[in-house]
Amino acid sequence: MTDAFSFALHAKDGAARTGEISTPRGNIRTPAFMPVGTAATVKGVYPEQVRATGADILLGNTYHLMLRPGAERIARLGGLHHFMRWERPILTDSGGFQVMSLSALRKLSEDGVTFRSHIDGAVHELTPERAVEIQGLLGSDIQMQLDECVRLPCEDAEAERAMRLSLRWAERSKRAFEAQPKGRALFGIVQGGAVESLRIESARALADMDFPGYSIGGLAVGEPQDVMLRMIETVEPHLPSTKPRYLMGVGTPDDLLEAVARGIDMFDCVMPTRSGRHALAFTRFGKINLKNARHAEDPRPLDEESDCPALRDYSRAYLHHLIRCGEMLGPMLLTWANLHYYQDLMAGMRAAIAEGRFEEFRAQTKAGWAAGDIPERG
Amino acid sequence: MTDAFSFALHAKDGAARTGEISTPRGNIRTPAFMPVGTAATVKGVYPEQVRATGADILLGNTYHLMLRPGAERIARLGGLHHFMRWERPILTDSGGFQVMSLSALRKLSEDGVTFRSHIDGAVHELTPERAVEIQGLLGSDIQMQLDECVRLPCEDAEAERAMRLSLRWAERSKRAFEAQPKGRALFGIVQGGAVESLRIESARALADMDFPGYSIGGLAVGEPQDVMLRMIETVEPHLPSTKPRYLMGVGTPDDLLEAVARGIDMFDCVMPTRSGRHALAFTRFGKINLKNARHAEDPRPLDEESDCPALRDYSRAYLHHLIRCGEMLGPMLLTWANLHYYQDLMAGMRAAIAEGRFEEFRAQTKAGWAAGDIPERG
């Protein structure tokens, strides 16, 4: 524990890194996967369970929280940590991404973005200053500058315009953030679409502004994995190696392996939770779709060697039955199982990097997925 | 533990009784409330949580389980206890009640009832013998005879016809049950609508058949509480005092208090779980509807003195927020809270009866509900 925000790099193995972020609310082992707690809850699990899976930090969505229950209300209730009973670090996005994907009647200007709530149609405004103010009211430990994220593919000129606007907003966000208590951090966000020169320009300009960490935004927005990985490789040499790098909104277990291999330290994604609610389990043996009738009489658990009760103690037949009947316990168990598997994967990567065997770990993990399911009985 | 089914009465206080049912799968402290695990899951909670609230026994619904995943399938998978990870006693109904309330194209005969599944329209048949066979396949510890339950109000002649049919089915059920392993019990079910003479005739005839326990069916089906209580008072003197009495499908916390006061030992009801999914909490202070906007900034938990995290640790403001956003955690927490409150109420009744202060407990509990919510802050 510390009263300042800092990052210590413990080991490198190729481009892969392992280290630890220190914050006043606790440390974050990297590479880290952050479960998404959109509306002040990781859907379908208790906060104690999320911690028990090994998560050091959660992500909260500024857009959702500013609409319901509202940032000022959360502040009056003691801040987001207290409100949702998660006393460890929380990272928040700036709200910009969801404004673009969820809200109606967006109007973007140099100043910021006005939009209508997707819930009740009320008009809201998000400027770089207001986005930081909201995150401050929430009490977020790691905050994001407001940026403009374009969908891929897009015209180079459009990617360039959004990247330059995001840089100007980075400056304004940084100034606004200076009013906040010590120990919190604001990350700048690299944009530039799928254009290498724009990505490099963005990374360099942000590095010059000296942020305590850097996010890579505008990826995992529909492009193929190889484009995403190429953009990471493009950006990585231009980000200070002493600061954490956060790949926003990523990804599948394979995405995590490949991005860590390219020097990424932090991730968030709805994949484990959303997939869990849709009957898909991520395991050492690859993906298992519990909707499939072939599980109806399978007495085996998802992974009998796991420490997680959801993976170890409930039969596939039972999980299949719960899903078929639309019972809440199905999504509850599969969400729990997936969060556990994701954290196990991160812990495996951290240990492998520390021991200089990341390539071996990557190959073995992929071989496990490729081999597919353990043999059926009988 | 024991290898036989038995009931020991420990104390009486007025008509209220406390005791213990022994089964090979564990003991059941009475008066007992059985959470409903319709489709092999108590909706919205893990089995460990249900046990931790103090539940000694669950109820499973034969109708639902015979349709999905099927009794033979559950038997192949090791029985209902293993399937749903609840190793303590399970009571099952006969399926008859849900056939009447849920299925289509019912056809009742002396032999049994044929019906179409409400899920896929498939035709099924339930006879007294098949109902017992299914419950045996599930591995149920306390089984119910097939009966015919009429809705109230109904014509006396209709109540009489259904009661007499149920008595004939009781005989057939009892014969069919003889094939089952030792340690399980089959209960007879008192019917007779709201007609006192029919209820008495039913109770006496069943008592003559010497069942290990007696259910009172056909109540809590739309009649006022005073009619239900009058029927309990009518039946009670005609049931052997050495056997447990189970009031099926009841009820509200007030129903439980009043029925225990009249000599009932066992209850089941979807009230705590269904209400929990609909934002209604049962507490020492009465019912609290978390949908209500007055909770939006209330930092107090539902009951700060409770042992249950769901009642003690989460603010009403947060619960209100979860419900407003349709987040799973809202129903999860309120279901948990309600199950805990129901078990606390039963434990309070058991202790009060044992100590000869049941009337005082009843009055104090009702005064707590009537006083309503603890004062708002400010």
Residue of A nearest to B77 (CA): A299
User: What is the predicted pLDDT for the residue at B378?
Assistant: 37
CB-nearest to A77 from B43, B76, B317 is: B317
Measured distance CA(A348)–CA(A346) in Å, rounded:
5
Structure-token match 């969505």, residue found: A61
Q: Which amino acid is at B24?
A: P
Which of A268, A173, A168 shows the shortest CA–CA distance to A212? A173
Average pLDDT over chain B, rounded to whole? 96
- The answer to whether residues B233 and B264 touch, using CB atoms and an 8 Å cutoff, is no
Q: What's the confidence (pLDDT) of residue B101?
A: 86
pLDDT of residue A3: 84
Query: What are the tokens at A67?
Result: 């609409």
Ramachandran bin of B292, using left for φ above 0, alpha for ψ from -120 to 50, beta for the remaining angles: beta
DSSP run (H or E) holding B125: strand B123-126
What is the pLDDT at residue A374?
Answer: 60
Q: Say if the Cβ atoms of B321 and A39 lie within 8 Å.
A: yes
| Chain B positions in Cβ-Cβ contact with residue A327 (cut-off 8 Å) | 39, 41, 43
Q: Report the pLDDT value the prediction gives residue A1, as an integer from 0 to 100.
A: 55
By the CB < 8 Å criterion, does B106 face chain A? no
**Among B297, B314, B321, whose Cβ lies nearest the Cβ of A68?**
B321
- Give the one of B41, B73, B324 whose C-beta lies nearest to A327's C-beta: B41
Which residue from B341, B346, B295 is spatially nearest to B321, judged by alpha carbons? Answer: B295
User: Given 3.40.50.2300, 3.30.450.40, 3.60.10.10, 3.20.20.105, which CATH number is that of A6-269?
Assistant: 3.20.20.105
Q: Considering A13, A56, A147, A268, which one is annotated as catalytic?
A: A268
pLDDT of B253-310, one tens digit each? 999 999 999 999 999 999 999 999 999 999 999 999 999 999 999 999 999 999 999 9
The nearest CA of chain A is from the CA of B118 a distance in Å of: 13
> Does A377 score more than 50 pLDDT?
no
pLDDT digits (tens, 9 = 90+) for A93-130: 999 899 888 877 789 999 999 999 999 999 999 999 99
Question: Hey, are the CB atoms on A44 and B78 less than 8 Å from each other?
Answer: no
Q: Is A222 on the interface with B (CB under 8 A)?
A: no
Residue of B nearest to A40 (CA): B322
Buried b (16+ CB within 10 A) or exposed e, A327-350: bbbbbbbbbbbbbbbbbbbbebbb
Tokens of A13: 């193995």
Domain limits, chain B = 9-269, 276-371
Helices B316-324 and B329-354, interaxial angle, to 10°?
130
Q: What residues of B are labeled active site?
A: 93, 268
CA A260, CA A32: separation in Å to the nearest integer?
Answer: 10
Q: What is the CA radius of gyration of chain A?
A: 20
Residue whose entry in the numeric block shows the structure tokens 């059926």: A376
Angle A205-A128-A233 (CA atoms, 0-180°, nearest 5)?
35
pLDDT surpassing 70 at residue A204: yes
What are the residues whose beta carbons fall under 8 Å from the beta carbon of B4, sequence distance 6 or more? B22, B24, B182, B183
User: Residues B41-75: pLDDT tens digits?
Assistant: 999 999 999 999 999 999 999 999 999 999 999 99
Taking the Cβ of residue A83 and every Cβ of chain B, the question of whether any pair is shorter than 8 Å is answered with: yes
A43 or A153: whose pLDDT is higher?
A: A43
Identify the H or E element spanning A131.
helix A128-138
Q: Which amino acid is at B89?
A: P
Mean pLDDT throughout A286-309? 97
User: Does the beta-carbon distance from A73 to B297 stay under 8 Å?
Assistant: yes
Which residues of chain B neighbour A322 with C-beta distances below 8 Å?
A: 39-41
Token pair of A372 as six digits: 């597919």
Confidence check: pLDDT of A376 > 60: no
**Residue B236 DSSP symbol:** G
Cβ separation A73–B44 shorter than 8 A: no
Section B191-219 average pLDDT: 97
How large is the average pLDDT for residues B231-245? Answer: 98
CB contact under 8 A, A324 and B68: yes
Which residues of A are less than 8 Å from B77 in CB distance?
297, 299, 315, 317-318
Confidence of residue A375 (pLDDT cuts 50, 70, 90): low
Distance CA A309, CA A11 (A): 32
What SS3 class is residue A55? Answer: coil
CA distance B328 to chain A (A): 5
Q: Across-strand partners of B12?
A: B17
* Mean pLDDT, range A196-210, rounded to an integer: 98
Q: How far apart are CA B82 and CA A18, in angstroms?
A: 42
- Pairing state between β A26-30 and A32-35: unpaired
What are the structure tokens assigned to B373, written together? 């919510």
**Whole-number percent of chain A with pLDDT over 70:** 98
pLDDT in tens, B316-369: 999 999 999 999 999 999 999 999 999 999 999 999 999 999 999 999 999 999
CA-nearest residue of chain B to A81? B318
Identify the band that residue B377 occupies on the pLDDT scale cut at 50, 70 and 90: very low
Q: Read off the pLDDT of residues A169-180 as tens digits, 9 standing for 90 and up.
A: 999 999 999 999
Contact residues for A240 (Cβ-Cβ < 8 A; gap 6+): A207, A214
User: What's the CA dihedral at A96, A102, A105, A107 to 10 degrees?
Assistant: 10
Q: For residue B3, what pLDDT is reported?
A: 84
Alpha-carbon distance of B240 to B214, in angstroms, equals 9
Smallest CA–CA separation between A201 and chain B, in Å? 40
State whether the Cα torsion B289-B291-B293-B295 is positive or negative: positive
Taking residues A283-295, what's their average pLDDT? 97
Backbone angles phi, psi at B10, to 5 degrees: -95, -40
Which DSSP symbol is given to A329?
A: H
pLDDT at position B151: 87
B325 touches chain A (CB under 8 A): yes
Sign of CA pseudo-dihedral B353, B358, B362, B365: negative
**B143-177 confidence digits (pLDDT tens):** 999 999 988 899 999 999 999 999 999 999 999 99
Q: Which residues in chain A are contacts of B318 at CB distance < 8 A? A: 40, 77, 83-85
Instruction: Report yes or no: B183 and B202 within 8 Å, Cβ to Cβ.
Output: no
Q: Which residue has the tokens 């109606």?
A: A104
Helices A225-235 and A253-260 pack at an angle, to 10 degrees, of 20
Select the residue of B45, B315, B329 nearest A41 (Cβ to Cβ): B329
- Are A115 and A103 contacting, i.e. CB atoms less than 8 angstroms apart? yes
State the Cα–Cα distance between residues B21 and B31, nearest whole angstrom.
10
pLDDT of residue B82: 98
Q: What is the pLDDT of residue A105?
A: 75
Say if residue B250's pLDDT is above 80. Answer: yes
> A279-282 long-range contacts, Cβ below 8 Å, gap at least 24?
A279/A323, A279/A330, A279/A334, A280/A334, A280/A338, A281/A311, A281/A319, A281/A334, A281/A337, A281/A338, A281/A341, A282/A253, A282/A337, A282/A338, A282/A341, A282/A342
Q: pLDDT value at position B102?
A: 85
The pair of structure tokens assigned to B79 is 């029985």
Rounded Cα gap, residues B230 and B244, in angstroms:
19
Percent of chain B with pLDDT over 70: 98
ipTM over 0.90: yes
Residue A29 has pLDDT above 50, yes or no: yes
Which whole number is the average pLDDT over B226-248? Answer: 98
Residue among B43, B297, B325 minimizing CB distance to A39: B325
Distance, CA of B116 to CA of B102 (rounded, Å): 9
DSSP string, A216-262: E-S-SSS--HHHHHHHHHHHGGGS-TTS-EEETT---HHHHHHHHTT
Q: Could you say which of A39, A76, A327 has the minimum Cβ distance to residue B297?
A: A76
Q: Is residue B17 over pLDDT 90? A: yes
Check if A332 contacts B (Cβ < 8 Å): yes
Could A44 and B328 be called an inter-chain contact, meaning their C-beta atoms sit closer than 8 Å? yes
| C-alpha closest to that of A90 among A137, A46, A44 | A137
Structure tokens at B267: 């209850």
Q: Does B84 touch chain A (CB under 8 A)?
A: yes
Q: What is the mean pLDDT of chain A?
A: 96
- Determine which of A73, A74, A77, A82 to mutate to test the interface with B (most B C-beta atoms within 10 Å): A77
pLDDT tens per residue, range B98-107? 988 887 778 9
CA of A300: which chain B residue's CA is closest? B77
In chain B, which among 18-47 make CB contacts under 8 A with chain A? Answer: 39-41, 43-46
- Residue of chain A whose Cα is closest to the Cα of B320: A69
Report the gap between the CA of A2 and the closest CA in chain B (Å): 27
Which residues from chain B sit within 8 angstroms of residue A314, using beta carbons? 85
Query: Among partner residues A39, A46, A318, which is closest to B83 by beta-carbon distance?
Result: A318
Residue in chain B nearest A328 by alpha carbon: B44
Chain A positions touching B83 (Cβ under 8 A) are 315, 317-318, 321
Could you tell me which CATH class the domain B9-269 is placed in?
A: alpha beta
Q: How confident is the model at residue A151 (pLDDT cuts 50, 70, 90)?
A: confident
